[in-house]
Structure 1
Amino acid sequence: MTIFTDDVVAAVTGHMNGDHTDDNLLIARAFGYPGVTESRMVGVTGDGGVWVVTDAEGDHELTVAWPGGEISERPQIRRQVVELYKVACDKLGISARDEHAPEPTGGDDAGTPHAAAHPHSGNPHGGNPHGGNPHGGGRHAGATDAEGEQPFSSVIRESSWSDHSDSEGATFMEDIMRGIGTKQDYIDLVVQHYFMYEALEAAATQLVADPAFAGFHPTALVRMPALEADLEYLIGSDWREQIAPVPATAAYAARIREIAEEGWAAGIVAHHYTRYLGDLSGGQMIAKRVAKQHELDAAGIEFYDFSALGAIADFKSGYRAELDALGARLDDAERGRMLDEVRTAYGFNTAVFVDLGKAKAAA
């Protein structure tokens, strides 16, 4: 049986838990847990995928074999996940989404399958220094709009299937999700969020000031007050004197500030999308898991409370419509540059988990 490296597992599970939470639930329903209330992908092997599933009876580990049999290469993972999704839909008697149409052979790579190779400016730092895919963003096969093009929101989602740099220690986040991380692990994560969002929400003020981007960042989305409240509860009134960013977080925040100083609105959106849509998807599972394990109520997990937004599904649909509108305004070069920045953001997030893992091991 092939054992994929930690960085590959972190990339695949991060994508599934951030952008395909509904698909995780659907797979769990189709393969033995019809009453599932929560499903999170936690592992990938050559034989199949592994999920932690929650229903009325508690937590269960679910392993589902790949429909095409054993695999040994990273590019095969995405194809088998797509096929597994289709099998699940068939078992449940529902129609699969068009965006999961089979990809053509000879895709660009495992990170950006079936990406077209059109020229674009790319990352101004010469690719992703923290694990993003240096290849072109391109348009992807899959779901199309009325004019025959895939919506930009879908293109962005597909672009997160990117190659990541060596991620030894990236299991830090998976430990939290499996319920085996400590309370200190969670506190350390909240601390890093503080430094990320301090930079991101300062940058987001530029979006609010521009009518073309204002829809991305309503007031109810702002996280800094909640983070400050969580840190005071978790650490104490002197929390500001006790916290510091890990190197990857400092670099991440510096990159966001650099983009803001440049005034590159699409670049700000790339980081905005990566963080906030993750908080609204997989982040909700983090909150449930941490609250249950460490007996937290509202205090300590306020960061994940988006009730002021209304229905999260409705907000996410509106957000993706904003992304589609943005994509229509950008030329191919700028679209490609933004997709590279999305991959850069994913790379930074993985690097933060790596650093947290290293810091924990050294403690």
Structure 2
Amino acid sequence: MNGVSYPIFHYDVMVNEFEASVISAVVEHMNGDHPEDNLLIARAFGRPEATASVMVGLDGAGGRWLVTDASGESELTVAWPGGPISERAEIRREVVVLYKSACEKLGVTPREEHAPEQTTAAPHGGGHTHGAGHPHGAGHPHGGGHAHAATTPDDDGSFAQAIREATWGDHSGSEGSTYMEDIMRGRSGIEEYTALVAQHYFVYEALEAASEKLAADPDFAAFHPAALVRLPALVEDLEFLIGADWRDKIQAVPATRAYADRITELGEEPWLPGLVAQHYTRYLGDLSGGQMIAKLVAKQHGFDRAGIAFYDFTELGPIPAFKQTYREALNQMGERLSDEERARVIAEVRAAYRFNTETFIDMDRARAATV
């Protein structure tokens, strides 16, 4: 890969490194909620012919995107317009300014929530932008074509939005765990990645068994099409990573066992909204930030499909379209719930994030015990 930097400004200062959890949260948000913005930024700041762009990282100096154009894939670095930053709250501000700068460079009208008053700029050269909605996490990079402009504000009052707003801080706390940070930065070996796949297996074994119990419920159908099922892909990955006897060689850490037990409990109750809360947190996260993990792991270990089949959602069709359908189903479910039930669902989403964080902590402990 030929990495090329395209800074707006240059700063000869020490660069602040954010925690991996913060980076992951921002990257997931940009790739899942604003894939078209990524493409605009790439086209405006060094890749005018870009057909796809996915955010892959950031630090105090700027953001990084993996961009695809006629020459292939390469990394693009763009400095923050306001200079180096050190606080998480500053990231959103700089990303918004970067987006608006890209719109100005390309002659595109910013989305309504970011547009200057009385903006009348016309789309540039037949290309225009549209804003993505707000599912959890990040999605697949927008591939090909021009980005399309939006007129819908970020806060639309929907149940999906209420969940995202209420749980924003929950999926960014690492509690001192560096497990995912090490994987994302290529500091882990194949053993650590394999252990992660194993924990996924135990969680999805419980989640898909619980989902099967509710498969006949029409209110659950939109959330769980057959192409979303992950267990066969996880088996494929574990057979590749460990061998035919993989089942005898993996074990769940305590937090993963508690995680799976909670999901099983929701299926046995059964409490459909609660299961949807767990379902939403897992699947949409893997449709989102999981795509970045797959790219990084594939590059580090030379994987094609085997080893990262879990993250391959090709049979699902266009990921943005599915996520929009999922959000609509989530909003429809929210309309049927009382305020108390909606609060319970949000609490269950938060519980899912805690299980996830505690799993990484346990995996760190298990890793330390083997050193």
> Relative to structure 1, is the Cα distance of residues 10 and 310 closer, same or farther in structure 2, using a 3 angstrom cutoff?
closer
Residue in 1 that maps onto 2:107:
93
Residue in 1 that maps onto 2:317:
310
| Matches of 2:338 and 2:93, distance apart in 1 | 29
Q: Which runs of 5+ in 2 are unaligned?
A: 1-14, 117-151
| Matches of 2:35 and 2:223, distance apart in 1 | 21
| Matches of 1:297 and 1:72, distance apart in 2 | 37
> Relative to structure 1, is the Cα distance of residues 95 and 251 closer, same or farther in structure 2, using a 3 angstrom cutoff?
farther
| Matches of 2:365 and 2:228, distance apart in 1 | 31
| Contact 1:21–1:282 (8 Å) recurs in 2 | no
Residue in 2 that maps onto 1:299:
306
Equivalent position to 2:197, from 183, 190, 200: 190
Any idea what SS the aligned residue of 1:39 has? strand
| Matches of 2:356 and 2:191, distance apart in 1 | 19
Q: Deviation digits for residues 234-260 of structure 1, max 9, x if unmatched?
A: 101111111012233222222222332
Residue in 2 that maps onto 1:289:
296
Q: Deviation digits for residues 262-286 of structure 1, max 9, x if unmatched?
A: 3221121112112112222232333
| Matches of 2:321 and 2:274, distance apart in 1 | 24
Larger radius of gyration: 2
Residue in 1 that maps onto 2:277:
270
Which one has more relative contact order, counting CA pairs under 8 Å at least 6 apart?
1
Residue in 1 that maps onto 2:175:
167
Residue in 2 that maps onto 1:114:
none
Equivalent position to 2:258, from 251, 267, 285: 251
Any idea what SS the aligned residue of 2:58 has? strand
Is 1:211 matched up with 2:225? no
Is 1:33 matched up with 2:47? yes
Q: How far did residue 177 of structure 1 move? A: 3.3
> Relative to structure 1, is the Cα distance of residues 165 and 82 closer, same or farther in structure 2, using a 3 angstrom cutoff?
same
Residue in 1 that maps onto 2:64:
51
> Relative to structure 1, is the Cα distance of residues 10 and 357 closer, same or farther in structure 2, using a 3 angstrom cutoff?
farther
Equivalent position to 1:155, from 142, 151, 162: 162
| Contact 1:179–1:289 (8 Å) recurs in 2 | yes
Any idea what SS the aligned residue of 1:50 has? strand
| Contact 1:98–1:142 (8 Å) recurs in 2 | yes
Residue in 2 that maps onto 1:127:
none
| Contact 2:56–2:292 (8 Å) recurs in 1 | no
The percent identity for this pair of structures is 54
- TM-score, normalised relative to structure 1: 0.74
Equivalent position to 2:267, from 260, 265, 281: 260
Code of the aligned partner of 1:338 = V
Within a 5 Å distance, the mapping from 1:108-119 to structure 2 comes to none
Code of the aligned partner of 1:53 = L
Any idea what SS the aligned residue of 2:218 has? coil
Residue in 1 that maps onto 2:75:
60
- TM-score, normalised relative to structure 2: 0.73
Q: How far did residue 66 of structure 1 move? A: 5.2
Code of the aligned partner of 2:322 = F
Within a 5 Å distance, the mapping from 1:321-360 to structure 2 comes to 321-360=328-367
Q: Which runs of 5+ in 1 are unaligned?
A: 103-140
Any idea what SS the aligned residue of 2:359 has? helix
| Matches of 2:180 and 2:51, distance apart in 1 | 22
Q: Once superposed, what is the RMSD of the aligned Cα atoms?
A: 3.1
> Relative to structure 1, is the Cα distance of residues 354 and 186 closer, same or farther in structure 2, using a 3 angstrom cutoff?
same
Q: How far did residue 213 of structure 1 move? A: 1.8
Task: Point out the more displaced range, 225-234 or 304-313.
Answer: 304-313
Is 1:42 matched up with 2:57? yes
Any idea what SS the aligned residue of 2:292 has? helix
| Matches of 2:347 and 2:230, distance apart in 1 | 25
| Contact 1:177–1:289 (8 Å) recurs in 2 | yes
| Matches of 1:9 and 1:71, distance apart in 2 | 13
> Relative to structure 1, is the Cα distance of residues 293 and 72 closer, same or farther in structure 2, using a 3 angstrom cutoff?
closer
> Relative to structure 1, is the Cα distance of residues 257 and 221 closer, same or farther in structure 2, using a 3 angstrom cutoff?
same
| Matches of 1:29 and 1:174, distance apart in 2 | 29
